A and B are shown apart, each in its own frame.
Chain A
Amino acid sequence: SQQGEEDPQALSIQEGENATMNCSYKTSINNLQWYRQNSGRGLVHLILIRSNEREKHSGRLRVTLDTSKKSSSLLITASRAADTASYFCATPYTGANSKLTFGKGITLSVRP
């Protein structure tokens, strides 16, 4: 079953603008991950934030985690056309599998 749900489903912005994507989840987690998928390609890991972290940066990416609200956000600053992709949040499943459960993704379009 789906653990993480991203919001919005689709986002279209102009190059240079910031893009904010949100993820909500249902159960307690010890980490949350964000992935990017370019059209026709596999998912690429972007960033992992642990439950004891509130914010993490990687280049133009900033991820926040609010465990009290069970939500995370991914901010891409100064977006570029090359950021056009689908973005997924992933959370660990708490069962024996210890798998990652992915949301359905956010489609980001950055217009040049």
Chain B
Amino acid sequence: EAQVTQNPRYLITVTGKKLTVTCSQNMNHEYMSWYRQDPGLGLRQIYYSMNVEVTDKGDVPEGYKVSRKEKRNFPLILESPSPNQTSLYFCASSLRQGMNNQPQHFGDGTRLSIL
């Protein structure tokens, strides 16, 4: 089954404790992206990757890191999480994005609470 898998689905942690949210897709998609969703603010892009070893900042990259060593994986790293990073996070992928005609496939989300 074609899917985007995020782990963990839920995480409660404390300020400053490094964490990684994994994202994996099995559709051989080139484009992958991370979003955060906050009430009243909608979906905001954090980072994106056009292909392996190609990543770039989205709208709200501060406090986050990503890597794209393999096509299928795109982990989101919070080196020193802070309470303002408490949010619902989504990973998404699409075949490619350069053509602007590709639907995105989303994971089920990771709800992070930073205390």
A69 at interface, CB cutoff 8 A: no
The reply to whether B42 and A2 contact each other, CB–CB distance below 8 Å, is yes
Per-position binary interface string of chain A over residues 74-112, scored 1 when its CB falls under 8 Å from any chain B CB and 0 otherwise: 000000000000001010100001111011110000000
Count class of interface residues, chain B: 20 to 34
**Closest approach, in angstroms, between the C-beta of A28 and any C-beta of chain B?**
12
**In the bound complex, how far is the Cα of B35 from the Cα of A100, in angstroms?**
11
Q: Does A99 contact B98, Cβ atoms closer than 8 Å?
A: no
Interface size on A, residues (CB 8 A): 24
In the assembled complex, B101 has its CB within 8 A of some CB on chain A: yes
Contacts of A104 in B (CB 8 A): 40-42
- The digit string for A20-50, where 1 denotes a CB below 8 A from any CB of B, is 0000000000110100000011111100101
B103 contact from A1, A2, A48, A105, Cβ within 8 A: A48
Interface residues of A (CB under 8 A from B): 1-2, 30-31, 33, 40-45, 48, 50, 88, 90, 92, 97-100, 102-105
Query: Told that A2-B42, A42-B106, A88-B42 touch, could you supply 13 new A-B pairs with CB distance under 8 A?
Result: A30-B100, A41-B109, A42-B4, A42-B90, A42-B109, A43-B104, A43-B106, A45-B105, A48-B101, A88-B43, A98-B97, A98-B98, A104-B40
